[in-house]
Amino acid sequence: MRYQVVVLDEEVGIDIDIDHLGWQVHPASYPSAEFSGLRIYMGYCDSDQLGSVFEDNYIPGSKVLVYERASQVCAGSPDEWFTLELDTPYGYVQSEGNLIIEVQWETPVDYHSFYTWAWNTGTIRAVANTSAGAPSSTSGSLSSAVSRFMLSGQGMTLEQSTFCGIKVLGDPR
């Protein structure tokens, strides 16, 4: 699987050293699932929408591998947040562009589905490829549905009006 989304700079709302990334667990999810070859990348995008070619969405030179595991168990109860501490914090500077978050994995080890909440952005802000060999695929299908992410970092103050603040402080329902 290869899944890429763009988070708009005004949704992030602040310069932030992102050191954790979280997803809100959907009630239809299995309590846990294991995935092999999990990698997370972050980078900048100069557009508010994504195209179908993954690499073309990044501002050249901005793509950074922030998390990698040979095997990763994802677990959580409905509506709780599943979070990962990044191996390499990503220093996001709002004036540089929109934030791309890309998640790749090779195969589910146990073939359980780990679902997370998503929301419809109304514009094309996600691209995904679920076919065999997806992590090495160059393109995917476009979508307006984006996972409900939580970005967090050390030593920052969030305002409730920002994307981060809403995800941390706001009611998810």
Query: Among residues 107, 99, 86, which one has the least CA distance to residue 38?
Result: 107
Q: Alpha helices of the chain — where are they, by DSSP H?
A: 9-12, 163-169
Q: Whole-angstrom Cα distance, residue 91 to residue 93?
A: 6
Share of the chain residues as helix, strand and coil, in percent rounded to the nearest 5? 10, 50, 40
Give how many domains the chain has, as a whole number.
1
pLDDT single digits (tens) 16-40? 999 999 988 887 776 777 788 999 9
CATH number of the domain that 61 lies in? 2.60.120
Question: Which pLDDT value is given to residue 133?
Answer: 63
In which domain, by residue range, is 126 found?
2-169
pLDDT single digits (tens) 43-69? 999 999 999 999 999 999 999 999 999
